[in-house]
Chains A and B, each alone.
Chain A
Amino acid sequence: MTGITKLFGTVEALRDVDLTVQSGHIHAIVGENGAGKTTLMKVLYGAHQASDGQINLNGEPVSFRDSKEAIAAGIGMVSQHYSIIPELTCLQNLVLGAEPGPVISYAAAESRANELAKQMGFQFNWHEEASEISPSQGQKLEILKLLWRNAKILILDEPTAMLAPDDADLLYAKLHELTEQGATVLVVTHRLPEVMEHCDEVTVLRGGKLIDSCPVAQTNPAELAEKMVGQAVTEHSPIPCNPGETLLTVRNLVVKGDKGNDAVKEASFELKSGELVGIAGVDGNGQRELFYALMGTRNSSGEIHLGIQNLTNTSTAERIQSGIRLIAEDRHNEAVIEDWSIADNAILGLQRTNRVLAGRSINRNTQAELAKNVTEIFPTKFDNVNQKFRDLSGGNQQKVVAARSLQESPQVVLAFQPTRGIDLYVAGLVYDGLIKATREGATVLVVSFDLDELMTYCDRILVMNHGEIAEVPAELRQDRSAIGRMMVGAE
């Protein structure tokens, strides 16, 4: 790709960007929010048309009018916004848009699907409805969709955002096998350790411009981070934690999973004022169900107390009024209403809290204040608070959702993957925000599948494995492999 420029109206998303990708390599594209990584990939994939510039594929000039032409040329992309339709089965999703013929033999399709899955080391129940599968399974299904379409150049946008460390390593190992067979992989990511460990080359974008492109072996994380941000990045230095009195007490909590099993088994733990506690674990070990139960959106047995207040049988609305806040995992479906404005989403969930409610209607002054707060706590790029939430970029959406959980004096913030889809610098800001809330007396419980993240920021780490919760002893808190063993129940 040479001299790629992309204008959205008058906004310049990409300015004269060159990108050369060697076939058979894993090439990482890194950069801040809004650096143009995804836009550049979408131009390559034919989803956006470049305003200027030229794309050459194997030395031949090409131009794709739409994604269909890109797929025909062997270029496939998994975007951050899933294209999986939940009402269809996994197999139907796999073949959709690239069916073998007017009449589909699902038996034949399934055997080829199994071959592709085996090649990647994935396992699927192909007749399961896609609404039943976890986000990480969804990610894997998306990758298989590309292979089903015989893509030779795979573009993956934040592929490990929802995978546990081991799954991420496995994914890269399989991607390496693919590249050895002649495929080329482009990865948009913000996880620099991943780039250093698994990628062959790296390209840094900043503000829509090419900053640098070099083999990974010739650079280091600090240098990359500096190029991404444009200034030296300071390491997070832990602030000493002074836990106060116990805020949230959970005793013998049992929560049923979707399949009727006990997803959370007799979980008991305490969260103290002033501490940030992380839950490590592989995706699907009951973290989701635990959070649903704590928010009161799923039935559970056991006891939940906030201070002296018994929350066990209270509604979600009462829990929010008591100061429990959630940063939901699935931003699009659980955290916001995308067709609403930023201002309306700013008070969504907080509508019954004292300052927001004025009699039977919404206090518009408080709403305006909250809208201002949620866009300012973490620097958010937006036009005005009345624009649709949908029109914000993924990272900016996450910033608003995270900021909202810190409004109206939270007592307990439940954060599920709070840095999903946002880059290092902003992730640091979000954690700083959460830590600041704890130092002001709240307590924060974070679920993350990124162990390094938890080890960097958390005061204590719990591990969740098959619905059971255990605490990582203080002396092992920086021992990555020990925690990893606890996560899979080997210790």
Chain B
Amino acid sequence: MIDLTYLVAAISFGSLLTSTLTFSAPLILGALGGLCSERSGVINIGLEGKMLAAACATGYIAQASQDPVLGLTAGILVATLLAMLHWTLTQTYRIDHIISGMGINALCAGGTSLISKTFPELGSKQMAAFSIYVYWLCAWTAVIAIWWILKSTRGGLRLYAVGNDPDKSRQMGIKPGKVRLQALLGTGLLTGLAGALIVTNAGSFSDGMTSGRGYIALAALILGGWRPWPTLIAAVLFGLFDSLQLQLQGQPLFGQVIPGEFWQALPYLVTLVALAGIAGKSRAPAGLGKP
């Protein structure tokens, strides 16, 4: 019998719970932001950029104004404006969704970097922020809200319809452009919250601080089959194993020293395997990227 109890002994379960919640909350918010967009048929790889820009805006405005409301509002506003830019580019000017999303990511990475380097004195003050619990509450409430909207409202049905077949939806008197505008407003709100959460966690903005979590959120969305609950599970699983790997790094396995990269890959591996097993048929919205 191989003895793995020393691994379990290395885990502190109290801190594991807290860090899981901490790690998963921005993923949940980001992934749900992506869900709004992609369910309506708009491919959105610009989650990362929106979250980064929102983190930047929330951080600096909250520091400058010492007002948490103003800080969060600024973050949501910036993410929403970027979502609207994505809508205009893809719906009005019919630019490829991937290109528009990449452009937004590049714009945000460069823009926030420029701001943080040009005005280093901005980050000197203490940041006024809401309690982190407010954000956790937002993340979990958002899952329930989006699940309910999709399941039992007119808006949810139309979102579904437009995302699957914009042409046929048009025949039924629905305006896909309008539905997608509303969906992207949701994306702006949720990615704005995700960005604000990330900066609140860290205490102040630093360059590139979202560190790819927008993409991981996108992966959680895809693994979750574009459905709210499986997406939540994907995000939480990822958060859980991300905190687990931090605690387990450096521990030997079967008497061997395991490279840190193995532990770092663990969250991705487990999330993938778990969702392949439980998610069942996963299907992208049929109308993704269609005009």
Contact = CB atoms under 8 A, between A and B. Distances in A.
Contacts of B152: 103-106
A82 B168 CA distance: 8
Contact of A96 (B153, B155, B172, B286): B172
Contacts of B160: 87-88, 92
Given A71-B173, A87-B283, A99 B157 contact: yes
Interface in B135-172: 152-155, 157-158, 160-161, 164-165, 168-169, 171-172
B283 A96 contact: no
Contacts of A66: 173
B209 interface: no
Interface string A83-109: 111111000100111110111111000
Contact of A85 (B154, B168, B173, B283): B168
B172 A83 contact: yes
A67 interface: yes
B155 A85 contact: no
Contact of A103 (B154, B158, B168, B174): B154
Nearest to B165: A85
Contacts of A71: 173
Nearest to B158: A96
Contact of B154 (A84, A88, A99): A99
Contacts of B283: 87
Task: Summarize B's interface: helix, strand, loop or mixed.
Answer: helix
B154 A104 contact: yes
Contacts of A86: 164, 286
A68 interface: yes
B154 A83 contact: no
Interface string A323-363: 00000000000000000000000000000000000000000
Nearest to B148: A103
Contact of A67 (B153, B154, B165, B171): B171
Nearest to B167: A83
A87 B173 contact: no
Contact of A83 (B164, B168, B285, B286): B168
A97 B173 contact: yes
Chain A contact-residue range equals 20 to 34
A96 B165 contact: no
Given A101-B154, A104-B152, A68 B161 contact: no
A88 B283 CA distance: 13
A101 B155 CA distance: 10
Contact of B153 (A88, A97, A104): A104
Interface in B162-208: 164-165, 168-169, 171-174
A83 B164 CA distance: 12
Contact of A102 (B155, B168, B285): B155
A311 to B, nearest CB: 32
Contacts of B154: 99, 101-104
A101 B174 CA distance: 15
Contacts of A88: 157, 160-161, 164
Q: Among B153, B158, B173, find the residue whose CB has the most chain A CB atoms closer than 10 A.
A: B173
A70 B153 CA distance: 25
B126 to A, nearest CB: 43
Contacts of A99: 154, 157
A103 B153 contact: yes
A85 B153 contact: no
Contact of A68 (B157, B168, B169, B173): B173
Interface in B250-291: 283, 285-286
A92 B155 CA distance: 12
A83 B169 CA distance: 8
B165 A95 contact: no
Q: Among B152, B153, B165, B168, find the residue whose CB has the most chain A CB atoms closer than 10 A.
A: B168
B288 to A, nearest CB: 12
A97 B286 CA distance: 19
Q: Among B152, B161, B171, find the residue whose CB has the most chain A CB atoms closer than 10 A.
A: B171
A-B pairs with lowest CB-CB distance, top 10: A97-B172, A99-B154, A68-B173, A87-B164, A83-B171, A97-B173, A85-B165, A83-B168, A102-B154, A96-B172
Interface of A: 66-68, 71, 82-88, 92, 95-99, 101-106
Interface of B: 152-155, 157-158, 160-161, 164-165, 168-169, 171-174, 283, 285-286
30 contacts: A66-B173, A67-B171, A67-B173, A82-B168, A83-B168, A83-B171, A85-B164, A85-B165, A86-B164, A87-B160, A87-B164, A87-B285, A88-B160, A88-B164, A92-B160, A96-B157, A96-B158, A96-B161, A96-B169, A96-B174, A97-B172, A97-B174, A99-B154, A101-B154, A102-B153, A103-B153, A103-B154, A104-B152, A104-B154, A105-B152
Given A87-B160, A99-B157, A103-B153, 13 more contacts: A67-B171, A67-B173, A82-B168, A88-B164, A92-B157, A96-B157, A96-B161, A97-B174, A102-B154, A103-B152, A103-B154, A104-B154, A106-B152
